[in-house]
Structure 1
């Protein structure tokens, strides 16, 4: 690695300065990444490898690109940085949507708030959602949204109860003899309906191959047990979920772990995807952190801002905060989703519902 000649005169901590310089250069490149639609079109990343569920042809894709160039504005380009060009088309001009929920551990209560707001105030939008994706804990909320939308409150209550259970333990999920993975399977088994046929070709679960570190998006489920295995694998964090020596879950004879390692926020080039994350980022629905600098980093294919609040959120995703804080995240998700519906003119409130 080359070093700056001007720094060579100071013999104190040259390696540290080089690392800081390299990190700053990397951040600068991410911030100044080109945004031309022809360069940000279909990529070879796992997020664009999913076949078009709607049967769209190449001609329809070219029409999308034409619409993108006509709808693009500098403000919209900046907001949709690192997103597929289809995202530059205004929400109201789309007839079909995808919904993608990021991996976020116990902060998935934010997703529950978003989904609850959609179900209560955004039925015109919900009726157009054709593909629901999720990684890690986001896949759990995605599964409930597809299969049991009327049980969202019960699902969130189960998540909060599990958080209480961990907080009562001395070392949380790392307490010897406690296995979060087993507890998670029990909860999912209790919540999922017996008929899971609606999940096929609509629910996409992000998985990471344990050995090759390749991403896989599962959308076809042989039976209910197979779906539970996929959800368990998508949430499986080595050494955290089942102790130090437990092998990872197997799907189709292959070991898989948390989908957030390789694709924490599935996004698609063929379908306008509404992305949701409790980590401040370039998502459609995300907390509006106001910081004095605009550094970004990429984790599991998700572009997030570098700030203290996101660092705290990362810790809280694995070591859950109090119920009051979880309720705050739920309310934040509801408010951010309400704002999204309002800004995109897709809000349709129930009679007498409160804001």
Structure 2
């Protein structure tokens, strides 16, 4: 738990300390890269090999690519950075992974069915994902992305606004605690 608190403190202070956070995307990718460089063990790429599958979208043809083997720790970090890159929000020039430009994996998933019975879907927004916030079941509208359904609700709209304006540490703590609990609940359901 101590490491987890240290990582959160590092990220919160890095996000809070810059004027650039007021602009779209701010320094968020740099903060993520710095946190990964600081806290991932030297053999992280070996520890996750074959277990972590990162889905990224190749820019030139908008095809989703899954990466689960990483040549080095930096290779893993670069794949994760590409998987976080939202075009326009984080900038105009997407990051490169193994010499090719990639963006967030969700963008290309509509073109191919990556979701199977063994895929664990995760979202920061409420919907029909394995791990996600649980809003009111009475969502009146939904939006389908690939094989997952996103709820159109007041709380999801608030979550979307926080993408453009970083919330207070108290709100971040609340989201972290809820995300942690959603994950624990999923793992309990999975083990039954």
TM-score computed with the length of structure 1 as normaliser = 0.46
RMSD value, Cα: 3.0
Tell me the CA shift for residue 216 of structure 1. Answer: 0.7
1:258 lines up with 2:104 in the alignment: yes
1:165 lines up with 2:11 in the alignment: no
TM-score computed with the length of structure 2 as normaliser = 0.79
1:214 lines up with 2:63 in the alignment: yes
Q: Which structure would you say has the larger Rg?
A: 1
Match of 1:234 in 2: 83
Cα distance change on mapping 1:253 and 1:325 into 2, 3 Å: same
Cα distance change on mapping 1:300 and 1:187 into 2, 3 Å: farther
| Aligned equivalents of 1:238, 1:341: Cα separation in 2 | 32
Cα distance change on mapping 1:301 and 1:173 into 2, 3 Å: farther
Question: Structure 1 unaligned runs (5+)?
Answer: 1-115, 117-149, 348-355
Retained in 2: the 8 A contact 1:205–1:218?
yes
| Aligned equivalents of 2:149, 2:137: Cα separation in 1 | 16
Match of 2:42 in 1: 194
1:304 lines up with 2:157 in the alignment: no
Aligned-partner SS, 1:174: coil
Aligned-partner SS, 1:275: coil
1:321 lines up with 2:167 in the alignment: yes
Tell me the CA shift for residue 281 of structure 1. Answer: 0.8
Tell me the CA shift for residue 237 of structure 1. Answer: 2.4
Tell me the CA shift for residue 171 of structure 1. Answer: 5.6
Tell me the CA shift for residue 170 of structure 1. Answer: 6.5
Retained in 2: the 8 A contact 1:155–1:191?
yes
Cα distance change on mapping 1:268 and 1:159 into 2, 3 Å: farther
Match of 1:331 in 2: 177
Match of 2:124 in 1: 278
Match of 1:154 in 2: 6
| Aligned equivalents of 2:171, 2:154: Cα separation in 1 | 17
Aligned-partner SS, 1:288: coil
Tell me the CA shift for residue 267 of structure 1. Answer: 3.3
Retained in 1: the 8 A contact 2:36–2:77?
yes
Please give the residue correspondences for 1:122-133 in structure 2 after superposition, counting only pairs within 5 Å.
Answer: none
Retained in 2: the 8 A contact 1:208–1:215?
yes
Tell me the CA shift for residue 339 of structure 1. Answer: 4.3
Match of 1:108 in 2: none
Number of aligned pairs?
188
Retained in 2: the 8 A contact 1:262–1:301?
no
| Aligned equivalents of 1:251, 1:187: Cα separation in 2 | 19
Match of 1:225 among 69, 74, 91: 74
Cα deviations across residues 162-203 of structure 1 (Å, max 9, x unaligned)?
33235xx2762438xx64433432222112111121121111
| Aligned equivalents of 2:34, 2:139: Cα separation in 1 | 43
